[in-house]
């Protein structure tokens, strides 16, 4: 059964979509079947992967959420073999309002994903920059959450708010939700504050901080306008190499966790 990971941070512009696209692409080149779920009405993961939600068949995750189609109908192949995306556009913002009165409104994404979980090794959900109903749906549907963050002073406050929200979801809706890891993005090694923030995150979260940091890299910011993940745009860039290394960390962490689970079952 595939692992579902929410890529989440309520702060805007911290590298969620860039991380979802490029971790997804890196896992796909490691021969994993990967689905990126664009769960943001901005539709950046959709366009960043070269797709247009308004082109036929025009089915999007919004229609899947409100029961007008299956999630499979909203999924398109990307240029990269093994990487698919469930597309979104601005209509998704309507779901935030329309689902309010629905029964089990927090579990809609979980239930539409369920029939597809065997088809993919990894499902990455690109969340919007808020802790609203869409993000709650994403966390309820996930095995873990991955937090991209920029090394700025206020990032730490946002991070503790996010971790406590995840704790509430774990208590009320999804007891098995884990922290996949914290990923430092747009890292500038010449900036002292960046090192201080990184040290502080490491002190609080230890092993949960990815060893790999994503450097600020102009090629990463150019790739979406070409509708390509960085691996198809500039495979030799520092950004491409960093995301490949993060994907390797994710695969290794999951192999380790599975080994621990297996030995626990034997005891």
Ligand X SMILES: Nc1ncnc2c1ncn2[C@@H]1O[C@H](COP(=O)(O)OP(=O)(O)OP(=O)(O)O)[C@@H](O)[C@H]1O
Residues that bind ligand X (CB under 6 A): 12-18, 40, 42, 44, 129, 185-186, 214, 216-217, 220-221, 224, 239
216 binds, among Mg ion, ligand X, none (CB under 5 to 8 A by kind): ligand X
Query: Which of residues 200 and 222 has its CB atom nearest to Mg ion in the complex?
Result: 222
Dihedral class, residue 206 (left if φ above 0, else alpha if ψ from -120 to 50, else beta): left
19 binds Mg ion, rule: CB under 5 A? no
**Which is closer to Mg ion, CB of 16 or CB of 32?**
16
Q: Between 43 and 82, name the residue whose CB sits nearer to ligand X.
A: 43
Q: Tokens for 169, please give them.
A: 């979801």
* Angle made by CA atoms 249, 143, 79, in degrees to the nearest 5: 60
Secondary structure (H, E, C), 51-105: CCCCCCCCCCHHHHHCCCCCHHHHEEECCCCCEEEECCCCCHHHHHHHCCCCCCH
Distance CA 229, CA 235 (A): 9
- Given Mg ion, ligand X, none, residue 228, with its beta carbon under 5 to 8 Å by kind, binds none
Give yes or no for a contact between 180 and 145, defined as CB atoms under 8 angstroms apart: yes
Shorter beta-carbon distance to Mg ion: residue 44 or 150: 44
Among residues 17 and 212, whose Cβ is nearest to ligand X? 17
Q: How many residues in the shown chain lie near Mg ion by CB under 5 A?
A: 3
Site for Mg ion contains 140 (CB under 5 A): no
Q: Smallest distance from the beta carbon of 130 to ligand X, in angstroms? A: 9
The distance of closest approach from Cβ of residue 128 to ligand X in the complex, given in angstroms and rounded to an integer, is: 6
Give residues 184-243 in contact with Mg ion (rule: CB under 5 A). Answer: none
Q: Is 44 near Mg ion (CB under 5 A)?
A: yes
| Rounded least distance, CB 7 to ligand X, Å | 8
What is d(CA 78, CA 75) in angstroms, rounded to the nearest whole number? 10
Q: What is d(CA 245, CA 23) in angstroms, rounded to the nearest whole number?
A: 9
Residue 84 interacting partner from Mg ion, ligand X, none (CB closer than 5 to 8 Å by kind): none
Distance from C-alpha of 157 to C-alpha of 172, rounded to nearest angstrom: 23
For residue 105, the partner it binds in ligand X, Mg ion, none, with Cβ less than 5 to 8 A by kind, is none
Tell me the C-alpha distance between 115 and 95, whole Å: 21
Closer to ligand X at the Cβ: 60 or 217?
Answer: 217
Least distance in Å: CB of 36 to Mg ion?
11
Query: What is the distance between the alpha carbons of residues 124 and 4, in angstroms, rounded to a whole number?
Result: 6
Applying CB under 5 A, the residues found at the interface with Mg ion are: 16-17, 44
């Amino acid at each position: 059964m595939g692992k579902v990971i929410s890529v989440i941070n309520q702060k805007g512009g911290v590298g969620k979509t860039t991380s979802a696209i490029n971790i997804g692409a890196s896992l796909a080149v490691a021969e994993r079947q990967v689905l990126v779920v664009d769960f943001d009405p901005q539709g950046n993961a959709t366009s960043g992967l070269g797709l247009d939600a308004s082109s036929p068949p025009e089915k999007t995750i919004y229609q899947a959420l409100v029961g007008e189609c299956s999630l499979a109908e909203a999924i398109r192949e990307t240029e990269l073999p093994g990487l698919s995306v469930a597309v979104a556009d601005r209509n998704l913002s309507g779901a935030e309002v329309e689902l309010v009165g629905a029964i089990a409104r927090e579990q809609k994404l979980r239930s539409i994903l369920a029939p597809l979980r065997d088809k993919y090794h990894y499902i990455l959900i690109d969340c919007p920059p808020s802790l609203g109903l869409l993000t709650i749906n994403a966390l309820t549907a996930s095995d873990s959450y991955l937090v991209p963050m920029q090394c700025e002073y206020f990032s730490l406050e946002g991070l503790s708010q996010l971790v406590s929200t995840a704790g509430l979801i774990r208590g009320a809706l999804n007891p098995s939700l884990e922290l996949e890891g914290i990923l430092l993005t747009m890292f500038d090694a010449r900036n002292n504050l960046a090192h201080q923030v990184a040290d502080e995150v490491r002190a609080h979260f230890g092993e949960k901080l990815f060893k790999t940091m994503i450097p600020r890299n102009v090629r990463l910011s150019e790739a979406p306008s070409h509708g390509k993940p960085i691996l198809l745009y500039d495979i030799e860039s520092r950004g491409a190499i960093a995301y490949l290394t993060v994907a390797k960390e994710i695969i290794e962490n999951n192999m380790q966790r599975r080994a621990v689970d297996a030995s626990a079952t034997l005891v």
